[in-house]
């Protein structure tokens, strides 16, 4: 009864759920039908019919087919010819969409090139469908996994592949048997002699080996696991009989272990079972350790390992088992290294070296056998661990045996290089071993490179490394391979490091230029330049620039170091100037044959180096042309002219910079020399300032009125940057004139006259050149528009300073900050500024220049403020009173001559340009 009630309740609960599901399905179907009808109406609209009118008989027949609505009313299931059914499957029912949300149908634009299609027309095939199927892309080679991933995968495969139960069972069986034996021993159950116990276990293990052998065909996984476990038990019996109970001696125990290991290897090869081979080799390598008596006979140890490695080599002849090869490699060289660190003595060399050579020979040939035994499709795979690990570890062990003797190690490295070069040459012509040729060639290069620092000094090593690195860069670019390029880069870095070590540890050279230090750095620089040239030819500008800058740094640093070591301090600046000029010339000659912007900028930098070097020459021997300076500037003149000529045809903006530096260097050198010549005599400071400015004034005047005289050797291109160069000279002159405003400008031995002394004349010349430059077409437009206020401000400042100098030279006022507290200075400034203001008022009024009149008014207002704030403190003397009187008279005069400013209209007419007839 309870079951019936439960069933009834379930039915009552299921009915509403089924009804809801049915309603949802019906509403979805209704929404789908509504969407289809809307589409049919859209296609049947007059605009659509006009746009999709049939153009041939076939399309007219299509248009005559019944609509979807008629088909749905005529039959429950529309029957459509198979060839006319749309290939696109109908979407599943969707939630109904309200009519208000459906956009009104819009007639599509006519497409003359595409014929109209009916509702159920099959769409034309897409271009992708019409195109034949392309071949599947080649599989992307993934990077090798890391060792941890490999270990995890191996463990996972061991527990998921093969006969997992028997594997796990053997492990558990080992643990169970060991526990049972221990318990039985503790309980006293096993009272019979230990010899019988071990013999029983050995017989059971032998039975397991035999049974596993007979089951190798029917149950392979079970049989292999049983054989491996049984051999392991036999090895444990031998170990217990020797180590724990002393039943057998070391020799018989060792012999039995060898027999068991050899048996495991034979079984592994016969059955193609790598697991058995690994077990046997592992047990073989561990046997000397657990059977050791502590006597430490290394000859017996290495002789036994030689037998094991011979077995590995024999197995490699038949089976390409990489794991077995790696296991033998790790144990052989690992245990050998441990013995060497703990027990090696110099007198053991004769008995140890043959074994090292033998082991090296084994693992040199095993990768070749491995590559030979690989299947045809996988012969591009190589055993990289053995290929690269064997020579590196063997060489390190050899270095330990030789106890760091450099020349024997150098010969060993050279011998390895020759061996690997011969192998690379021999293997590259054989298809099976082509993949080994490149690694062996790299090892040959590497050991040949290693032989250099072992046999030569650090500086000589740097030379060879740098040249070899440049050669590898060239080879990598030629073969379009990244590895030689990286190796070349690394070698050049190592060359720099070796050179630095040699410089810090080696003696100082005794001969300039002809010494190892200079030649080593020179070869590093030339190797970098060669690499830059290689990358430049390969159109890889970024790497080319990096190598070029690296080489340029070594080039300059090498020369500067040599100059500092072998030249006196007073001639170093001259030598550096000559070196910079010659370097610029070499770069320009190279640019003429191989245009590169870096070379052009090097020329510009070399010519610009003369600017700071001129100051260094002045500090060394008073002026740039003193001592050997004249010879250095002669070299600069010849090399610089030739460099500019080489850049003339194809260089861009860097040519303008180079020529500007060239034009700046000569007036700077002349200015410093003239300043030193004038300073030797007892003259006023105005002469020395004028001497500094005169060469720059001459260059600025030539740029303004005689540009062709200084344009050589770039006469036709000089106009491109003439304005900019002239602007730099005028900027320097204006800056110097501003600085000179704070100088008294004494003209001794001549008397000081306002505006007729050297300093005032120089400043007037600067003002005149500045005015002409602003009025010329080469002047900047924004400065030209402000020409009048700029010149007026400069003139006002100059007149003010001339007034102050007059009070100093004629009135005896000291030239310092306290002079502004004297009545003479303040009265002079009041009178002069008032005169300037009056002139601005009068001239502005007479010429109708409202701006000039307003400037005069502003100046008079400033003077008035000065009278009220400053000059009133001097009313107790005649000069203060004269200031007020002069200002009052001048204002009265202006009130009579120009009482009001000109009108704006007159000022506008005066500023309106004339229109030529």
Mean pLDDT of the chain: 74
pLDDT band for 380, please (50, 70, 90 cuts): very low
The rounded distance, in Å, linking the Cα atoms of 576 and 91 is: 85
What number is the average pLDDT over the span 300-307? 73
Q: Where are the alpha helices (DSSP H) in 456-568?
A: 458-479, 482-505, 516-537, 541-566
The rounded distance, in Å, linking the Cα atoms of 75 and 139 is: 53
Cβ-contact 839, 821 below 8 angstroms: no
What number is the average pLDDT over the span 778-802? 85
The rounded distance, in Å, linking the Cα atoms of 104 and 554 is: 78
Maximum mean pLDDT: which of 252-256, 474-478, 548-552, 864-868 = 548-552
pLDDT band for 427, please (50, 70, 90 cuts): confident
Maximum mean pLDDT: which of 83-97, 219-233, 282-296, 540-554 = 540-554
What number is the average pLDDT over the span 700-727? 87
How much of the chain, in percent, has pLDDT values that exceed 90?
A: 20
Tell me which residue has tokens 């020369």. Answer: 559
Four-residue CA torsion sign, 685, 686, 689, 691:
negative
Which helix (H) or strand (E) segment holds residue 195: the answer is: helix 194-214
Confidence (pLDDT) at 452: 66
The rounded distance, in Å, linking the Cα atoms of 522 and 375 is: 51
pLDDT band for 816, please (50, 70, 90 cuts): confident
Confidence (pLDDT) at 105: 47
* Crossing angle of helices 653-679 and 685-705, rounded to 10°: 150
What number is the average pLDDT over the span 866-872? 65
Exposure string of 14-35, with b = 16+ CB inside 10 Å and e = fewer, is eeeeeeeeeeeeeeeeebbeee
Inform me whether the pLDDT recorded for 601 exceeds 90: yes
What number is the average pLDDT over the span 443-447? 79
User: Is residue 258 reached through a cis peptide bond, with omega within 30 degrees of 0 on the bond before it?
Assistant: no
The rounded distance, in Å, linking the Cα atoms of 880 and 452 is: 91
pLDDT band for 135, please (50, 70, 90 cuts): very low
- Taking only the tens place, the pLDDT of each residue in 837-862 is 778 777 777 777 777 777 777 777 77
The rounded distance, in Å, linking the Cα atoms of 174 and 808 is: 115
Inform me whether the pLDDT recorded for 271 exceeds 50: yes
Q: Which of 95-99, 401-405, 515-519, 806-810 is predicted with the least confidence, judged by mean pLDDT?
A: 95-99
Cβ-contact 737, 763 below 8 angstroms: yes
Exposure string of 788-824, with b = 16+ CB inside 10 Å and e = fewer, is eebbeebeeebbbbbbbbbbbbeeebebeeebeebbb
- Taking only the tens place, the pLDDT of each residue in 626-652 is 889 999 999 999 999 999 999 988 888
Q: Is 83 left (phi over 0), alpha (psi -120 to 50) or beta?
A: alpha
What number is the average pLDDT over the span 782-800? 85
Residue 854 half-sphere exposure toward CB, CA atoms < 13 A: 8
Confidence (pLDDT) at 94: 44
Confidence (pLDDT) at 551: 94
Inform me whether the pLDDT recorded for 818 exceeds 60: yes
- Taking only the tens place, the pLDDT of each residue in 523-547 is 899 999 999 999 998 889 899 999 9
Confidence (pLDDT) at 296: 58
Exposure string of 522-546, with b = 16+ CB inside 10 Å and e = fewer, is bbbbbbbbbbbbbbbebeeeebbbe
What number is the average pLDDT over the span 239-267? 68
Cβ-contact 48, 108 below 8 angstroms: yes
pLDDT band for 257, please (50, 70, 90 cuts): low
The rounded distance, in Å, linking the Cα atoms of 367 and 340 is: 26
Long-range contacts of 636-640 (CB under 8 A, 24+ apart): 636/577, 636/578, 636/580, 636/581, 636/610, 636/665, 639/581, 639/582, 639/584, 639/585, 640/581, 640/584, 640/585, 640/607, 640/665
What is the 8-class DSSP label of residue 88? S
pLDDT band for 585, please (50, 70, 90 cuts): very high
Confidence (pLDDT) at 89: 43
Which helix (H) or strand (E) segment holds residue 107: the answer is: none
Maximum mean pLDDT: which of 117-126, 695-704, 708-717, 873-882 = 695-704
Confidence (pLDDT) at 901: 61
pLDDT band for 3, please (50, 70, 90 cuts): very low
Cβ-contact 603, 592 below 8 angstroms: no
Inform me whether the pLDDT recorded for 610 exceeds 70: yes
Maximum mean pLDDT: which of 167-171, 705-709, 878-882 = 705-709
Q: Which two tokens stand for residue 511?
A: 């001969």
What number is the average pLDDT over the span 494-518? 77
Cβ-contact 551, 532 below 8 angstroms: yes
Q: Which two tokens stand for residue 753?
A: 């006259």
673 CB-contact burial (10 Å; exposed 0-12 / middle 13-18 / buried 19+): buried
- Taking only the tens place, the pLDDT of each residue in 735-746 is 999 999 999 989
The rounded distance, in Å, linking the Cα atoms of 754 and 761 is: 9
Inform me whether the pLDDT recorded for 287 exceeds 80: no
Cβ-contact 618, 676 below 8 angstroms: yes
């Amino acid at each position: 009864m309870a079951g019936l009630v439960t069933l009834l309740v379930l039915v009552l609960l299921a009915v509403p759920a089924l009804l809801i599901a049915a309603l949802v399905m019906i509403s979805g179907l209704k929404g789908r039908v509504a969407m289809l009808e809307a589409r049919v109406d859209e296609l049947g609209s007059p605009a659509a019919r006009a746009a999709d009118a049939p153009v041939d008989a076939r399309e007219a027949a299509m248009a005559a087919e019944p609509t979807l609505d008629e088909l749905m009313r005529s039959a429950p299931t529309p029957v459509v010819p198979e060839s006319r059914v749309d290939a696109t499957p109908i979407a599943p029912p969707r939630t109904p969409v309200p009519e208000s949300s459906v956009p009104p149908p819009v007639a599509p634009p006519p497409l003359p090139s595409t014929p109209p299609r009916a509702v159920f027309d099959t769409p034309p095939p897409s271009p992708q469908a019409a195109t034949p199927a392309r071949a599947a892309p080649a599989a992307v080679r993934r990077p090798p996994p890391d060792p941890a991933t490999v270990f995890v995968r191996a463990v996972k495969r061991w527990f998921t592949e093969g006969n997992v139960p028997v594997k796990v069972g053997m492990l558990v069986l080992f643990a169970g048997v060991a526990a049972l034996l221990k318990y039985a021993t503790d309980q006293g159950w096993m009272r019979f002699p230990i010899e019988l116990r071990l013999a029983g276990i050995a017989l059971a293990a032998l039975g397991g080996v035999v049974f596993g052998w007979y089951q190798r065909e029917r149950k392979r996984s079970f049989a292999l696991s049983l054989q491996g476990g049984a051999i392991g038990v036999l090895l444990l019996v031998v170990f217990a009989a020797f180590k724990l109970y002393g039943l057998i001696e070391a020799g018989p125990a060792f012999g039995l272990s060898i027999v068991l290991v050899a048996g495991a290897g034979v079984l592994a090869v016969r059955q193609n079972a790598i697991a058995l081979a690994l077990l046997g080799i592992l047990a073989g390598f561990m046997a000397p350790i657990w059977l050791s008596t502590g006597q430490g006979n290394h000859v017996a140890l290495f002789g036994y390992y030689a037998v094991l490695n011979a077995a590995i080599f024999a197995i490699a002849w038949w089976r390409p088992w990489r794991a077995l090869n790696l296991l033998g490699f790790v144990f052989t060289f690992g245990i050998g290294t441990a013995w060497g660190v703990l027990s090696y003595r110099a007198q053991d060399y004769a008995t140890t070296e043959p074994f090292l050579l033998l082991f090296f020979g084994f693992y040199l040939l095993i990768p070749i056998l491995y590559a030979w035994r690989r299947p045809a499709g996988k012969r591009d795979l190589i055993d990289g661990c053995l290929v690269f690990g064997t020579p590196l570890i063997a060489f390190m062990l050899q270095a330990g045996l030789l106890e760091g003797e450099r020349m024997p190690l150098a010969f060993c490295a050279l011998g390895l290089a020759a061996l690997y070069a011969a192998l690379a040459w021999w293997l590259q012509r054989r298809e099976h071993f082509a993949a080994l040729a490149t690694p062996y060639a790299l090892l040959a290069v590497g050991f040949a490179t290693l032989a250099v620092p072992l046999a030569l000094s650090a500086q000589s090593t740097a030379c060879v490394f740098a040249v070899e690195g440049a050669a590898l860069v060239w080879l990598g670019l030629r073969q379009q391979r990244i590895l030689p390029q990286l190796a070349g880069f690394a070698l050049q870095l190592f060359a720099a490091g070796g050179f630095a070590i040699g410089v810090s540890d080696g003696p100082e050279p005794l001969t300039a230029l002809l010494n190892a230090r200079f030649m080593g750095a020179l070869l590093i620089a030339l190797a970098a330049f060669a690499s830059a040239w290689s990358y430049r030819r390969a159109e890889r500008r970024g790497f080319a620039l990096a190598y070029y800058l690296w080489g340029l740094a070594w080039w300059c640093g090498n020369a500067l170091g040599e100059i500092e070591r072998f030249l006196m301090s007073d001639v170093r600046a001259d030598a550096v100037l000559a070196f910079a000029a010659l370097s610029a010339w070499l770069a320009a000659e190279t640019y003429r044959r191989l245009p590169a912007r870096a070379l052009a900028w090097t020329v510009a930098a070399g010519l610009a180096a003369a600017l700071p070097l001129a100051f260094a020459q002045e500090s060394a021997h008073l002026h740039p042309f003193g001592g050997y300076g004249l010879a250095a500037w002669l070299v600069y003149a010849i090399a610089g002219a030739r460099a500019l000529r080489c850049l003339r045809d194809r260089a861009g903006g860097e040519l303008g910079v180079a020529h500007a530096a060239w034009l700046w260097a000569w007036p700077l050198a002349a200015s410093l020399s003239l300043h030193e010549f004038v300073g030797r005599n007892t003259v006023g400071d105005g002469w020395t300032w004028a001497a500094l400015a005169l060469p720059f004034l001459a260059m600025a005047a030539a740029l303004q009125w005689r540009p062709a005289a200084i344009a050589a050797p770039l006469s036709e291109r000089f106009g491109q940057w003439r304005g900019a160069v002239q602007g730099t000279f005028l900027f320097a002159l204006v800056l110097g004139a501003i600085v000179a405003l704070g100088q008294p400008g004494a003209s001794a031995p001549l008397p000081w006259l306002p505006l007729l002394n050297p300093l005032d004349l120089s400043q007037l010349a600067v003002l005149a050149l500045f005015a002409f430059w602003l009025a010329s077409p080469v002047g900047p437009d924004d400065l030209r528009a402000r020409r009048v206020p700029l010149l007026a401000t400069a003139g006002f400042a100059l007149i003010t300073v001339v007034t102050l100098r007059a009070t100093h030279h004629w009135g005896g006022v000291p030239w310092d900050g306290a002079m502004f507290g004297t009545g003479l200075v303040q009265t002079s400034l009041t009178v002069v500024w008032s005169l300037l203001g009056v002139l601005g008022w009068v001239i502005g009024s007479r010429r109708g220049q409202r701006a000039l009149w307003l400037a005069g008014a502003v100046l008079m207002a400033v003077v008035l403020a000065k009278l009220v704030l400053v000059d009133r403190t001097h009313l107790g003397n005649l000069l203060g009173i004269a200031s007020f009187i002069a200002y009052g008279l001048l204002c009265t005069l202006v009130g009579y001559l120009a009482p009001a400013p000109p009108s704006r209209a007159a000022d506008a007419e005066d500023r309106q340009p004339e229109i030529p007839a």
